[in-house]
Amino acid sequence: MKRFVEVEQLLRAKGVRLTDQRRLVVRRAVAYLHFTAEELVRDVKGFDPSVARGTIYRTLALLHQAGVVEKHDFRYGPPNYEVTFAKAHHDHLMCVQCGEIIEFQEPRVETLQQAVVKRYGYQLLSHTHKLYGLCRTCQHVDRKRVSLPPTLHVEEVVA
């Protein structure tokens, strides 16, 4: 079964009213791995320019609430969305030069996270874990030519 059909079923089960606009937004979103809200706006408007920007943002929020999409901040530009519905948990590794994103799993980190929150008496609800670096290709090109904007400087410098 197509992925968007499952999402629509989930929404219906949650009592969410389905409209043509929402169906289109869902169909376009599942076509991507990672996308920004404005990218989705342009994409959806390419299929139906009459769909308002506000509707697309509202639908995205709806999908977020329904647990269908997650919001990522990769420190460069606006947040990135990902349809994680029926997808195993993973963290991300990004090349700061070319922007390539790799999804990885490392259960031992997740175990340590539990140990950390226990140390402080917290109850863990969620986490973000993102690694930034240079992919094999970009390690061999002139480091001077940085293609990503200056805000993408290191947040936490690795010693």
Partner DNA sequence: TACCTAATTGAGACTCAGTCTCAACTATTG
Partner DNA sequence: CAATAGTTGAGACTGAGTCTCAATTAGGTA
Select the residue interacting with its own copies from 9, 19, 139, 147 (CB under 8 A): 139
CB 44 within 8 A of CB 51: yes
Site residues for its own copies, 29-68, by CB under 8 A, read 61, 64-65, 67
Indicate the residue among 18 and 102 with the shorter CB distance to its own copies: 102
Query: Could you say whether residue 103 binds Zn ion (CB under 5 A)?
Result: yes
Alpha-carbon gap, residue 124 to 5, rounded angstroms = 32
Name 159's Cβ contacts closer than 8 Å, sequence gap at least 6: none
Annotate each residue in 93-132 with x if it binds its own copies (CB under 8 A) or - if it does not, as one string.
x-xx-----x-x-x-xxx-xx-xxx-xxxxxxxxxxxxxx
By the 10 Å C-beta count (0-12 exposed, 13-18 middle, 19+ buried), 15 is classed as: exposed
Alpha-carbon gap, residue 137 to 123, rounded angstroms = 41
Residue with tokens 């977020």: 64
Query: Could you say whether residue 73 binds its own copies (CB under 8 A)?
Result: yes
Q: Which does 55 bind (CB under 5 to 8 A by kind): its own copies, DNA, Zn ion, none?
A: DNA
Q: Which does 12 bind (CB under 5 to 8 A by kind): its own copies, Zn ion, DNA, none?
A: DNA
List of residues contacting Zn ion (CB under 5 A): 82, 91, 103, 129
